[in-house]
């Protein structure tokens, strides 16, 4: 049987890797080679990467090692090999945005976030696959292929999207962490479906220049990591603030919005949520039932606004001229945006802004909300062969995550499948806009209680 190199960030994550790097127990070049070896063995089946920059990554790693040897320390992420979603421009690498249609003019050159990754000493292994134009939560995308969820070697299951490749690569140990984006659940759903941590930051926290624009007023950047601690470190590097310490859970109050977020849960997801909530209660967390009447409004907003935004960015002529080359779901959803009146878009956005203001009261006396990340575990890809069914499943998949984008909040996925599921199930913690640092600290405390999740059996892919 083919051997599999150990994941250089296991155990201990980013922090332990940094300690070993500085003690001379490992080098960035060695870590990069280990990930490239793992990619070589696993990715022919998993298909997480759209573009692999192996030689460039090794050269970058050697440069990082030389800097450290010369006494220059670039910080906590120095030497960590990472993967970047293929909607980000990276110098020397192609950017497809998951499409066969050339959209390079919409993205431009390398943006400030990727440049900050490099300044922090991260080694960019390559680009991970995305759903075409980042428009799709199932992870299925025909133009560039659908990554294989590593939790089932026999049946191809939904990887979640649109940051499908980033989540699969992180879950399979093909990178230290990956960068995704979240417009309507595109970090949290794939993180939930692949059993890893995902952080949807507050809109506007990080600039999105050099990134394919789906909806500029909704697009947010975020990491998909192995743990909450890793995400907190990434957040701290890019905000310039030290990670906040995990709070004691005794006295923490979390709102449970049962009216919408817990509706029609799959029995397995419900069982895992019950187990996780019981563990949190035992640790001292008070779970308080609340109502969030604004949440269902996302069902009126996203089917109109996202397609209209896509058409506005692509241009009507480019969309119509290339329909035969586009994913069928993207065609169906994009076509809905061809004739949305400006008056309707403005009315929907005005109503959303009102709800963003009123939702602040839903956090009164609370430290955050707790919900499922998705209502269902990852289902087989073959179950969504029909476009109409795919659209219906999309609406259900985003029931618990999309309202967070609609209301302008920040949120995370924390794996909880240890409470009774052979496939990943996720718990979502939500905080008000701008409280990303506190959210990361709270997530670390919650993760310490619900425990480290099991990993997929990758030997079945060898």
pLDDT digits (tens, 9 = 90+) for 328-359: 999 999 999 999 999 999 999 999 999 999 99
Identify any residues that bridge with 82 across adjacent strands, giving them in sequence order.
124, 177
Strands 197-200 and 177-182: unpaired
Q: What is the distance between the alpha carbons of residues 94 and 442, in angstroms, rounded to a whole number?
A: 37
pLDDT digits (tens, 9 = 90+) for 159-168: 999 999 999 9
In the chain, what are the helix, strand and coil shares in percent, each to the nearest 5? Answer: 45, 15, 40
What band does 1 get if pLDDT is binned at 50, 70 and 90? low
Strands 197-200 and 368-372: unpaired
Of 326, 333, 342, the closest CA to residue 141 belongs to 326
The two tokens of residue 416 are: 């909880």
The secondary element (H helix, E strand) that includes residue 429 is strand 426-431
Position 124 pLDDT exceeds 70: yes
Q: What is the distance between the alpha carbons of residues 251 and 107, in angstroms, rounded to a whole number?
A: 46
Q: Give the pLDDT of residue 320.
A: 98
Q: What is the distance between the alpha carbons of residues 157 and 155, in angstroms, rounded to a whole number?
A: 6
Return phi, psi of residue 68, to 5°: -65, -40
Catalytic residues: 85, 162, 186
Q: What would you measure as the largest C-alpha separation in the chain, in angstroms?
A: 62
Q: Do residues 70 and 34 make contact, with C-beta atoms less than 8 angstroms apart?
A: no
What band does 379 get if pLDDT is binned at 50, 70 and 90? very high
Position 301 pLDDT exceeds 80: yes
Please provide the average confidence, as pLDDT, over all residues in the chain: 96
Position 232 pLDDT exceeds 70: yes
Of 111, 90, 107, 91, the closest CA to residue 99 belongs to 107
Strands (E), 217-268: 220-225, 253-257
Q: Give the pLDDT of residue 284.
A: 98
% of the chain with per-residue pLDDT over 70: 100
Of 171, 169, 159, the closest CA to residue 52 belongs to 169
Of 377, 462, 380, the closest CA to residue 420 belongs to 377
pLDDT digits (tens, 9 = 90+) for 409-432: 999 999 999 999 999 999 999 999
Strands (E), 88-217: 123-128, 177-182, 197-200
What band does 387 get if pLDDT is binned at 50, 70 and 90? low
Model's pTM, two decimal places? 0.98
Q: What is the mean pLDDT of residues 5-11?
A: 96
Q: Give the pLDDT of residue 2.
A: 79
- Alpha helices, H only, 241-297: 267-282
Neighbouring residues of 376: CB distance < 8 A, sequence distance ≥ 6: 265, 266, 269, 396, 397
Q: Give the pLDDT of residue 3.
A: 87
What band does 189 get if pLDDT is binned at 50, 70 and 90? very high
DSSP 40-66: HHHHHHH--EEEE-HHHHHHHHHHHHH
Q: Give the pLDDT of residue 386.
A: 76
% of the chain with per-residue pLDDT over 90: 95
The two tokens of residue 243 are: 């990670």
Of 394, 403, 407, 393, the closest CA to residue 372 belongs to 403
Q: What is the distance between the alpha carbons of residues 31 and 82, in angstroms, rounded to a whole number?
A: 11
Position 453 pLDDT exceeds 90: no
In three-state form (DSSP H/G/I as H, E/B as E, the rest C), the secondary structure along 202-257 is CCCCCCCCCECCCCCCCCEEEEEECCHHHHHHHHHHHHCCCCCCCCCCCCCEEEEE
Question: Which domains does the chain possess?
Answer: 128-298+341-461 (3.90.1300.10)
Q: Do residues 7 and 20 make contact, with C-beta atoms less than 8 angstroms apart?
A: no
pLDDT digits (tens, 9 = 90+) for 23-50: 999 999 999 999 999 999 999 999 999 9
Of 169, 272, 167, 164, the closest CA to residue 224 belongs to 167
Q: What is the distance between the alpha carbons of residues 274 and 156, in angstroms, rounded to a whole number?
A: 28
Identify any residues that bridge with 225 across adjacent strands, giving them in sequence order.
197
Q: What is the mean pLDDT of residues 97-114?
A: 97
Q: What is the distance between the alpha carbons of residues 369 and 52, in angstroms, rounded to a whole number?
A: 38
Position 196 pLDDT exceeds 80: yes
Neighbouring residues of 43: CB distance < 8 A, sequence distance ≥ 6: 49, 52, 174
> DSSP 3-state assignment of 29?
helix
Q: Give the pLDDT of residue 392.
A: 76
The secondary element (H helix, E strand) that includes residue 414 is strand 410-415
């Amino acid at each position: 049987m083919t051997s599999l190199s150990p994941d250089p960030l296991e155990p201990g994550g980013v922090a332990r890797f940094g300690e070993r790097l500085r003690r001379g127990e490992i080098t960035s070049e060695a870590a990069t080679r280990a990930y490239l070896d793992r990619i070589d063995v696993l990715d022919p089946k998993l298909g997480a990467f759209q573009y692999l920059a192996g030689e460039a990554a090794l050269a970058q790693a050697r440069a990082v090692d030389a800097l450290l040897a010369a006494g220059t320390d670039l910080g906590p992420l120095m030497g960590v090999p990472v993967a970047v979603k293929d909607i980000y421009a990276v110098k020397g690498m192609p950017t497809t945005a998951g499409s066969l249609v050339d959209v390079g003019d919409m993205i431009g050159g390398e943006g400030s976030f990727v440049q900050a990754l490099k300044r922090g000493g991260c080694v960019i292994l390559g680009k991970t696959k995305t759903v075409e134009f980042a428009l799709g939560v199932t992870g299925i995308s025909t133009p560039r292929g659908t990554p294989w969820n590593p939790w089932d070697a026999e049946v191809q299951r939904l990887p979640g999207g649109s940051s499908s490749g980033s989540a699969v690569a992180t879950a399979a140990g093909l990178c230290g962490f990956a960068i995704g984006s979240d417009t309507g659940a595109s970090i949290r759903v794939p993180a939930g479906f692949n059993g890893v941590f995902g952080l949807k930051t507050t809109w506007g926290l990080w600039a999105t220049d050099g990134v394919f624009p789906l909806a500029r007023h909704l697009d947010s950047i975020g990491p998909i990591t192995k743990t909450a601690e890793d995400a907190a470190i990434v957040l701290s590097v890019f905000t310039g603030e030290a990670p906040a310490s995990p709070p004691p859970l005794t006295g923490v109050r979390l709102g449970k919005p049962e009216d919408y977020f817990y509706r029609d849960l799959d029995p397995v997801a419900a069982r895992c949520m019950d187990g996780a909530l019981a563990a949190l209660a035992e640790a001292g967390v008070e779970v308080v039932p609340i109502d969030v009447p604004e949440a269902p409004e996302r069902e009126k907003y996203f089917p109109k606004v996202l397609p209209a935004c896509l058409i506005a960015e692509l241009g009507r002529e480019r969309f119509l001229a290339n329909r035969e080359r586009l994913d069928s779901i993207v065609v169906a959803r994009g076509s809905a945006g061809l004739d949305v009146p400006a008056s309707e878009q403005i009315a929907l956005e005005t109503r959303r802004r009102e709800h963003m203001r009123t939702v602040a009261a839903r956090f009164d006396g609370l430290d955050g909300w707790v919900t499922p990340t998705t209502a269902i575990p990852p289902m087989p890809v073959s179950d969504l062969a029909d476009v109409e069914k795919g659209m219906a499943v999309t609406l259900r998949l985003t029931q618990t995550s999309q309202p967070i984008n609609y209301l302008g909040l920040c949120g995370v996925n924390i794996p909880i499948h240890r409470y009774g599921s052979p496939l990943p199930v996720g718990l979502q913690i939500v905080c008000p806009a701008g409280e990303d640092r506190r959210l990361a600290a709270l997530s670390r405390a919650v993760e310490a209680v619900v425990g480290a999740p099991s990993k997929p059996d990758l030997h079945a892919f060898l």
